[in-house]
Structure 1
Amino acid sequence: MRVLVVEDKQSHCESAKETLSGHKLTVVKSFDEAMELMSQKIDEDNVQRLLVEAGFPTKPDSKNMERWSAYWKAHDEAEAKSVIPFPFEVVLTDMMMPMSEQMLAPGVFNPGEQVPYGFIIALKATLCGAKFVAMVTDTNHHKGAMSAAIDHLGGASYHDGFKPNFVVNGARVMFVHTPFVEDPALGVKCYNCVGGTACGYCRTPLTAEGKCPRAKGDAAHSKPCHVCNGRGTHDTTVHERKDWGKVLADLTA
């Protein structure tokens, strides 16, 4: 499928290339780039061909009002027949993105501010003719008002088999918290015993001799950490990159 991903974070752009590798993928990193791709495109060569067929090889003299009006009527009809179809079947977008400077009055633009453009991008995509659209956010719902509000559209986290929330202009659309790619992380400092510096049972800092101050009379405080088995590190997985492929699979199921 022809897929457009709108995402400003490099790690998520990379995961898009990885998880959508079987598709024809285009990635852009800003609201302005997305709007440019979604602007209506006209095949000017076809417009000229249709104008010639309508008897207007060149633009007529504006002093001849009858012919001038007929020309513009033919021109508008030719343009309507020459709209280039939207090239993407699928549009997947982030929610929060850097503020665009377009159309803003002096003093309003703040390059460091994040704006929930994802809603506009998603709805615009349905107007353009995309058939499958998803807004996918990685913002923690405890740290962002818009992310918290997304909970009301499908839950606080992504779940397997998620179904689209809406049908908009014929497109299947969903607004969701992202599922994540599971990436292996080897030799991570143990969170339970703090890398071997605390008791694996009660998390009390160890003495200089490496013993728990509370070990006397309770053997549990002397046992190796149950998470890392006393090594101080353990292997785990991290969930930091968006799994765009899972979203698309559920969106099109």
Structure 2
Amino acid sequence: MDYGLMHVLLIGPRGDDGDARSARTVLAGLARAAVAAGERVSWLGTADDGGLPADDRIERITTGSRAPRFRRVEAWLTDAPRERALCKTLREAPCDLVHVHGFGGAYSYLLPWLADRLGVPVVVLAAPIEPVLCHRKTMIDARGERCMVWDDALRCARCCRTRSADGLGGAASMAAALCRPLRGLSPFPHRTAFLNRLDMLAQGLGVARTVVVADAAARDAILALGVQERSIRCGVPSDAGDWLELWRQALPSRPPAPA
């Protein structure tokens, strides 16, 4: 079917770490390929997007969104500046599709949910899977071993209170230990913060028209969260052309654009 001109709104990850920068660079390349193919592209940005190459063909929606500190587990799951900007944008000028690139980590679970509630289909890239399952984004536990227990709130809280290169520093880890008696009032990772972390991320994944994962193991993990199998695609598209086709397949059926 000839879908005509497609308007896609792209959402990349927050943060200034290497993984977030790399994901935004890949997404920027995909954006340039899409506009080169004649599609219309908007970019819902963060405060860390400044290093990306400028391209006048891509419509930028700027926000002051930044990733909160690692210790603020609940704050990683929301993103008020971009949630508000997304709703305002979709109300004023609805697009055809929202693409969320590299879901998990410091991503708001509400971004795909809000787009879906406002009637726009969503494609989510949940690869790598580690940032979805693990607040440290590594699935490596405090002992440096591969973690296969990602739904135990107490275990996750203990792990995230330890000193690590991708988490708390030494002083913060000591402060976290002293704050343990505060439980849910602690400003550091605590069991209460992890009780429904995965449930909220699953809510964001569950509304997507398509959830893209890297492999069968990641697919099984997403299925375990309650996401419907029919929405999961196993295997990340290898080039921009494959992504464009996947986006088109996620669009509701509609008549061809007039000649």
> TM-score scaled to structure 1, two decimals?
0.30
Report which of the two has the higher share of helix.
Answer: 2
Report which of the two has the higher share of strand.
Answer: 1
Whose Rg is larger?
1
